Structures are given as C-alpha cells and as structure tokens.
C-alpha cells in the first residue's frame, strides 16, 4: 500500500496529464463527428489488424469443416445442373445390315460412384433397366474392359469391376492367341494377374491382352491390358503374369454397356446342355 502511494506520488504528474488529456480526447471523440470517427477508425484499425493476424492462424483449424461445407454446396449445385438429369430420349445404336447381323449394341453411360481401393470394387452407372441395361451385361470403357453388370434397377446399374476377387475372364494374347484367365489379387488397381497361360507359347513384355470371347458375356477382342512382368512356374507349366490395365479406372467417367443381342439364344442353348446332363 505504501509502495502504491509512493508510486502515485512520484508519477502523479504523468497520471494527471494522461487523465486530463483523456478527458479532452473523450470530449473530442464524443462531440465532433469527424475527429470522433477518425479516432474510432484508428482503434478499429489496430484491433482489426490484431484480429486479422489471429484469424490468419485460427482459420487453419477450421479448414476441414469449411472444405466440407464447400463440398456440400458443390454437390448441391452440381445436382442442379443439367448433367444431373437423366435423358430418356437416347436410343441404342443399331446397325441394319443384311450380310452382317449385329450381335452387340452399346449403351453409353456415366459412372456416378466408384471405388477402386477395396478388395471388391463396384461402379454405379446412371443407366438402368429403363435404358435397356440388364444383369450380366458387359461394360467397357474407351480404353478397355470395366466389368459386368451385376444388378440393375430402373434408372441405375451396379457394375462388378474386374477389380474383384470373383472376376475370372478368359483372355488371350492378341499376338500369339495363347489363352489364359485374368484375375485380380487386390492391391494396386493398375495391375492385374493372368493365370493358366501356357508357358510353351513365347511371351513378350508389352504384349496386348484382349478378351477371348469364350466368356459369353464379354465380346471378343476387347483390350484389357499389357504384359508388365512374367515368370515361368516350373511346376504347373504356366506363366505367372502381371499386367497393366489399359484403362485408368481412377479417372473413368464415361463407359459403354454392351448388349449382347444373341444372349437369349445362347442362354437357351446352355440350358439345354445342363438339362441333357
């Protein structure tokens, strides 16, 4: 207390001065518009710059939620643009010819959701039964094979991609016609494997692999990928082949659903075999 009094006694002059000037400045700021607003402006500038600096730091902590909000808004806006609405006016392309009878027709579709990093990956397309997409139809991309429609509703369809543990597709080497079976062992979505390709037929890195046509659902000659590495398995006499998918499934947007016009006939034939057995 004594110290406080001493302190006040010693510096009373400065305190008195500051007090009186404070009163004067208060009067100025209260009673004259221009000076008052200038003083308030100065105070706002100081506090504003401090807040700005602190905001610069704190806004990093809100980036995640802000991004989320923006993404939501984007999705909302995107759902309103024209592309989001399904056109029901498109027709399948068909060719009328007397010599060649068309076997396959194509329905173009857009990928609306996809996964590529799981063990079993599915794509969803924006075309369904009302567009002619049926179960067991093959789906191809401009660069290669995508997979098989496993389920279709009236407006959407689900595609089991080649990136699936149940995928077994008969493939052949385009150059040598040697056949094998394509599987995907998981992991990298860019790399698949070929089993049961006989090692007696020579193979080169870079050879193109296409569908063989032995699988009923897949048309013949659709590109799958290019041989990346291979090794001979001495015990089985087959190659163990790793290949690179020709299509980049991560960037995929537009695909074609392949409609096999003879599928019903083939199914009937197949059924008769089963019945005979």
Partner 1 sequence: MSKTIFTTILEFILIALVQILLLNNIHLFGYMQPLLYIWFIILLPNNFPKWLVMILGFSMGFTMDIFSSQLGFHTATATLTATLRPLLLSWFVNSFDNNTFRPSIASMGFISFLGFASIVVITHTLIYFCIESFSFTEIWRLLLKIISSTFISLVLIVICDTLFVKAKID
**Footprint of partner 1 on this chain (CB under 8 A)?**
12-13, 16-17, 20-21, 23-32, 34-35, 38
CB of 20 to partner 1, least distance (A): 5
Smaller CB separation from partner 1, 19 or 62: 19
CB of 16 to partner 1, least distance (A): 5
CB contact set of 128 (below 8 Å; sequence gap of 6+): 152, 153, 154, 155, 156, 157
Smaller CB separation from partner 1, 12 or 62: 12
CB of 65 to partner 1, least distance (A): 43
CB of 28 to partner 1, least distance (A): 3
CB of 12 to partner 1, least distance (A): 7
Smaller CB separation from partner 1, 12 or 51: 12
Smaller CB separation from partner 1, 33 or 61: 33
Q: Residue 160 CB: number of other CB atoms within 10 A? A: 19
Whose CA is closest to 211, among 101, 124, 96, 104?
104
Smaller CB separation from partner 1, 28 or 150: 28
């Amino acid at each position: 207390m004594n110290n406080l009094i001493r302190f006040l006694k010693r510096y009373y002059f400065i305190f008195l001065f500051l007090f009186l000037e404070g009163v004067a400045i208060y009067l100025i700021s209260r009673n004259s518009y221009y000076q008052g607003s200038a003083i308030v402006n100065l105070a706002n500038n100081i506090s504003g710059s401090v807040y700005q600096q602190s905001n610069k730091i704190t806004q990093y902590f809100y980036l995640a939620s802000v991004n989320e909000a923006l993404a939501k808004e984007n999705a909302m806006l995107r759902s309103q643009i024209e592309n989001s609405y399904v056109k029901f006016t498109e027709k399948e392309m068909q060719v009328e010819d007397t010599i060649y009878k068309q076997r396959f027709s194509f329905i173009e579709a857009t990928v609306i959701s996809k996964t590529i990093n799981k063990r079993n990956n599915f794509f969803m397309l924006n075309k369904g039964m009302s567009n002619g997409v049926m179960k067991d139809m093959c789906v191809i991309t401009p660069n290669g094979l995508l997979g098989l429609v496993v389920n279709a509703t009236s407006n959407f369809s689900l595609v089991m991609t080649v990136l699936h543990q149940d995928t077994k597709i008969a493939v052949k080497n385009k150059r040598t016609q040697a056949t094998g079976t394509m599987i995907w062992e998981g992991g990298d979505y860019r790399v698949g494997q070929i089993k049961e390709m006989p090692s007696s037929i020579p193979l080169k890195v870079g050879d193109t692999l296409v569908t063989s046509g032995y699988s009923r659902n897949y048309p013949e000659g659709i590109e799958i990928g290019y041989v990346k590495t291979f090794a001979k398995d001495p015990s089985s006499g087959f190659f163990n082949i790793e290949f690179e998918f020709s299509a980049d499934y991560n960037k995929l947007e537009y695909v074609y659903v392949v409609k096999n016009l003879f599928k019903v006939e083939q199914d009937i034939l197949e059924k008769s075999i089963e019945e005979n057995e």
